[in-house]
């Protein structure tokens, strides 16, 4: 089966519709895996100290795949790159189930590493949304695709109960059951992308049809200065704060006797905070400018770690903290992505976006790893306090380069 390429003016609405539909489906897979990753690793390893490695594996898998997928997008287009990312994620979910069945930590971590490639595909989808977007609507287009993840990402963690039942019915460990939903969701997302993301949203010139476009880390680095560098740093830092706190929250709640369903609900509400108000964050980025929106996001992140870090056994307070954490992440990441897109030459944009996503994933991996060690050593409250300190350099950088960022935010580089 094939779908013919469209002719005439580029159908931006169709592209946004396809990318949004894929994000809904893929979000189910990512949300289901996110809720049980740390718990599954803890169960297989028999130690809470290993729990943070689940997020490390997921984010490291995303980081390792980001530049190859971006290079493939430059050479062949967004459609094959995104399709490959989703299908590798499906294979990773299958490996996770296998590792859980064999009670093998190594196989589970390998599966989570491959599982994380789906995150790289999801992240690059938001940039695919602005490949052909007008400069004045960059924030709106980007945030629409991010917002589309809300339905799937919120529903995914709540599949822990049905996933456990599916696991029992199919003979796999209960905690691995939700990964079966992830496998199916990623496979469907890959097929939808392959069949319907036509015409390819990446401009032909950027794919090298007219002249070779920059590909890889070395070619992207010369373009990372000024507002672009600030944007990448803000994205990486916000992601590190969010991942380090979010990844250890299920373990913290379980240690205090929270039921699996309550943990899943808390993560669902956190993910809703990340994605549900994405259009508002995109509108603010277009209206206020990315710099002001990034600063607003940093303030919300500070509030989030203060609330979550002092929650103790209160499930309500920790849920409020996690929702704020998602909102702060959303404002910062969307606004910084808009700033990055507007401040880099179009010919180099895809390569630089790849570096940004790689930085984001590596920061998340570091946050998950260090977060697990901090919780094991000093506790959940100290983790939140340390995460809050990461906000300071971002505020300084944004304020220092705010005038340049505001000039760039109005249009082309």
Spans of the chain below 50 pLDDT: 1-7, 205-209, 411-413
* Helix orientation angle between 346-377 and 227-255, rounded to the nearest 10 degrees: 30
For the chain, what's the residue count? 413
Tokens encoding 18? 């396809």
Specify whether the CB–CB gap between 382 and 299 falls below 8 A.
no
pLDDT of 111 reads: 96
pLDDT of 185 reads: 94
Tell me the fold of 14-201+222-409: Growth Hormone; Chain: A; (1.20.1250)
| pTM value surpassing 0.85 | no
The domain limits of the chain are: 14-201+222-409
pLDDT of 409 reads: 54
Percentage with pLDDT > 70 across the chain:
90
pLDDT of 307 reads: 95
Q: Report the candidate in 30, 128, 117, 22 with the shortest Cα–Cα distance to residue 67.
A: 117
Q: Please state, in angstroms and as integers, the Cα–Cα distance from residue 214 to each residue in 74, 75, 78, 135, following that order.
A: 8, 10, 15, 21
Cα–Cα distance between 308 and 324 in angstroms, integer? 9
């Amino acid at each position: 089966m094939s779908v013919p390429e469209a002719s005439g003016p580029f159908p931006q609405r169709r592209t946004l519709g396809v990318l949004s539909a894929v994000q809904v489906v893929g979000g189910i897979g990512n949300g289901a895996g996110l809720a049980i990753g740390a718990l599954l690793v803890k169960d297989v390893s028999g130690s809470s100290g290993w729990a943070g490695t689940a997020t490390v594996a997921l984010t490291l898998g995303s980081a390792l795949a980001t530049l190859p997928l971006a290079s493939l997008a430059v050479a062949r287009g967004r459609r094959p790159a995104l399709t490959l990312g989703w299908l590798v994620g499906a294979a990773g979910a299958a490996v996770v189930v296998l590792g859980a069945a064999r009670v093998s930590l190594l196989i589970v971590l390998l599966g989570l590493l491959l599982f994380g490639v789906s995150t790289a595909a999801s992240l690059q989808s938001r940039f695919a949304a602005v490949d052909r977007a007008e400069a004045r609507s960059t924030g709106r287009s980007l945030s629409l695709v991010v917002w589309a993840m809300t339905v799937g990402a919120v529903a995914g963690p709540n599949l822990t109960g049905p996933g456990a039942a599916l696991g029992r019915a199919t003979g796999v460990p209960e905690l691995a059951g939700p990964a079966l939903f992830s496998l199916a969701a990623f496979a469907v997302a890959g097929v939808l992308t392959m069949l319907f993301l036509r015409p390819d949203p990446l401009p032909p010139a950027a794919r090298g049809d007219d002249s070779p476009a920059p590909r890889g880390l070395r070619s992207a680095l010369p373009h990372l200065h000024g507002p672009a560098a600030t944007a990448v740093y803000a994205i990486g830092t916000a992601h590190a704060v969010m991942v380090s706190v979010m990844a250890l929250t299920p373990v913290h709640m379980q240690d205090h006797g929270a039921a699996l369903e309550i943990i899943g609900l808390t993560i669902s509400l956190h993910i809703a905070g990340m994605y549900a108000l994405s259009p508002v964050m995109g509108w603010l980025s277009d209206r206020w400018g990315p710099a002001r929106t990034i600063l607003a996001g940093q303030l919300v992140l500070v509030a989030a770690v203060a609330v979550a870090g002092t929650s103790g056994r209160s499930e309500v307070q920790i849920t409020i903290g996690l929702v704020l954490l998602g909102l702060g992440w959303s404002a910062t990441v969307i606004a910084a992505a808009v700033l990055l897109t507007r401040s880099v030459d179009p010919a180099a944009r895809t390569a630089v976006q790849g570096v940004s996503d790689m930085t984001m994933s590596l920061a998340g991996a570091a946050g998950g790893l260090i977060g697990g060690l901090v919780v094991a050593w000093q506790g959940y409250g100290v983790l939140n306090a340390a995460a809050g300190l990461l906000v300071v350099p971002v505020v300084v950088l944004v304020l220092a380069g705010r005038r340049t960022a505001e000039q760039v935010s109005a249009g082309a580089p």
